[in-house]
C-alpha cells in the first residue's frame, strides 16, 4: 500500500479514508485542524456558477465524502465554507455562513472567489483541486487562516501573495509569522505547456530573476534564473514550468520565512493512482479537497 509520508506530511489511513496532514500544522493541533483528502471513492467536484448544476446524486455523494473526512479529523461537517473557484485572484473574508446546519458550497449568490480567509472559529475553509496548487495559510500569532486555490492562471495573477497581503491588511498579520503549506499538485516534471503559456510566465515573472532564494531542501541560497522555473522540453514547441517554485519564490520575496513555506513535495500526476489528476483523468476527472479550521 503506497505511503506518501515524508519529512513534511503524514499519510493517514483511516479504514477506507486516506488523507495527508502537514507536520508543521500538527504542532498547533490544539488551535487548528486541517487535512488534504486522497482519492476518496467520490471526488469533491460540485457545481459552481460557471458550471452546469451538479446532479442531486453527485451533490449527495460529495456531501458524504466531506462528512467522512470531517469526522476523521473530529470537525463538524456543517462548518464547511467552500470557495466557488474560477481561476481568479479574488480572495474573500469569511465571517458568516448562509446555511446554518449544512455546508456553504456551490452557492451562486456567494459569487466567485479562489481564496478564503477568516479569524473566526467554526469556519472550515475548503478548496478543491485536480493538479492545481492548494495553499493552506496559518498565522499562529494572530490566529488567522486562509485557503487558496492557485492554478497556473492564479499563479500568473500572484494570488498567493495577494492572500498574504490581505491577511496583513485585514487582520494585522506579520509575514514572519505566516506559515504556508503547499498541497499535492502537478509539478514541473509534468506541467508541459505551449509557447503562448510559456511566454505569459516569462513576461510576468521576469522581475524575480536575479532574486535570492533560500532552497530549504538543499540548505543553500541560490540566485534565481528564468531557467530554474521554465525549462525547454522540445525545442521551440514545449516547455515545462515549475509553478510550485514560482510560488515559493514569490512568498519568500513577500517576507515569509523559508522554513515556514512547507511543501508536500507530491506530484499529483506521478501519484495519480491515489491523487486525482485532471491531466490523467481528463473530462471524467474528480477532485480532492483541502480543509482548514480554527478550533
For 130-143, how does the pLDDT look when each residue is reduced to its tens digit (9 = 90+)?
A: 999 999 999 999 99
Residue 97 has a CB neighbour count (10 Å cut-off) of: 17
**pTM for this predicted structure:** 0.94
Q: In which band, very low, low, confident or very high, does the pLDDT at 234 lie, cut at 50, 70 and 90?
A: confident
Region 256-278: mean pLDDT is 96
Among 30-44, 83-97, 106-120, the range of highest mean pLDDT? 83-97
Determine how many CB atoms are found less than 10 A away from the CB of residue 161: 18
What pLDDT is attached to residue 108?
55
Give the pLDDT of residue 55.
63
* b (16+ CB within 10 A) / e for 27-61: ebeeebbbbbbbbbeebbbbbbeeeeebeeeeeeb
Residue 86 has pLDDT above 70, yes or no: yes
CA atoms within 13 A on the CB side of 224: 23
pLDDT computed for residue 268 by the predictor: 97
Instruction: Check whether 51 has a pLDDT greater than 60.
Output: no
Provide mean pLDDT across the span 265-272.
Answer: 97
Check whether 43 has a pLDDT greater than 90: no
Q: What integer pLDDT is reported at residue 26 of this predicted model?
A: 98
**For the chain, percent of residues with pLDDT exceeding 70:** 92
Predicted local confidence at residue 46, as pLDDT: 43
More confident residue, 286 or 188: 188
Stretch among 30-39, 58-67, 71-80, 245-254 having the lowest mean pLDDT:
58-67
What integer is the mean pLDDT of 62-76?
90
- Within 8 A by CB and 6+ apart from 246, the residues are 155, 201, 205, 208, 229
What would the mean pLDDT of 58-71 be, rounded to a whole number? 84
Mean pLDDT of 275-285: 89
pLDDT at 129 over 70: yes
Residue with cell 457545481: 47
34-48, 157-171, 250-264: least confident range: 34-48
- 9-185+257-294 CATH, one of 3.30.2020.10, 3.40.50.300, 2.30.30.40, 3.60.140.10: 3.60.140.10
CA nearest 94: which of 22, 171, 5?
171
Residue range 152-173: average pLDDT? 98
The pLDDT of residue 283 is 83
* pLDDT surpassing 50 at residue 44: no
Give pLDDT tens digits for 2-38: 999 999 999 999 877 899 999 999 999 999 999 999 9
Task: Give the start-to-end residue ranges of the domains of the chain.
Answer: 9-185+257-294
Confidence band, pLDDT 50/70/90 cuts, at residue 109:
low
Q: Report the distance separating Cα 218 and Cα 135, nearest Å.
A: 22
Amino acid at each position: 500500500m503506497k505511503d506518501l509520508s515524508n519529512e513534511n506530511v503524514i499519510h493517514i489511513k483511516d479504514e477506507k479514508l486516506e488523507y495527508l496532514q502537514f507536520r508543521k500544522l500538527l504542532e498547533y493541533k490544539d488551535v487548528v485542524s486541517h487535512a488534504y483528502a486522497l482519492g476518496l471513492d467520490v471526488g469533491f467536484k460540485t457545481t459552481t456558477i460557471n458550471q452546469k448544476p451538479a446532479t442531486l446524486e453527485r451533490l449527495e455523494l460529495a456531501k458524504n465524502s466531506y462528512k467522512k473526512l470531517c469526522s476523521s479529523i473530529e470537525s463538524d461537517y456543517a462548518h464547511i465554507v467552500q470557495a466557488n473557484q474560477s481561476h481568479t485572484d479574488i480572495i474573500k473574508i469569511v465571517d458568516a455562513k448562509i446555511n446554518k446546519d449544512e455546508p456553504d458550497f456551490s452557492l451562486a449568490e456567494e459569487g466567485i472567489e479562489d481564496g478564503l480567509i477568516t479569524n473566526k472559529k467554526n469556519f472550515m475553509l475548503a478548496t478543491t483541486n485536480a493538479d492545481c496548487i492548494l495553499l493552506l495559510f496559518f498565522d499562529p500569532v494572530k490566529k488567522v487562516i486562509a485557503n487558496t486555490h492557485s492554478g497556473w492562471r492564479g499563479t500568473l495573477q500572484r494570488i498567493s501573495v495577494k492572500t498574504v497581503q490581505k491577511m496583513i491588511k485585514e487582520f494585522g498579520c506579520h509575514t514572519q509569522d505566516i506559515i504556508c503549506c503547499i498541497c499535492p499538485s502537478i509539478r514541473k516534471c509534468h506541467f508541459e505547456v505551449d509557447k503562448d503559456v510559456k511566454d505569459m510566465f516569462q513576461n510576468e515573472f521576469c522581475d524575480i530573476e536575479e532574486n535570492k532564494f533560500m532552497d530549504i531542501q538543499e540548505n543553500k541560497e541560490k540566485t534565481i534564473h528564468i531557467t530554474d522555473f521554465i525549462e525547454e522540453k522540445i525545442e521551440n514547441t514545449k516547455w515545462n514550468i515549475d509553478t510550485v517554485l514560482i510560488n515559493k519564490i514569490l512568498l519568500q520575496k513577500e517576507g515569509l520565512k523559508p522554513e515556514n513555506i512547507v511543501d508536500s513535495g507530491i506530484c499529483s500526476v506521478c501519484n495519480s493512482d491515489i491523487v486525482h489528476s485532471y491531466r490523467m483523468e481528463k473530462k471524467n476527472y474528480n477532485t480532492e479537497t483541502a480543509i482548514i479550521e480554527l478550533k
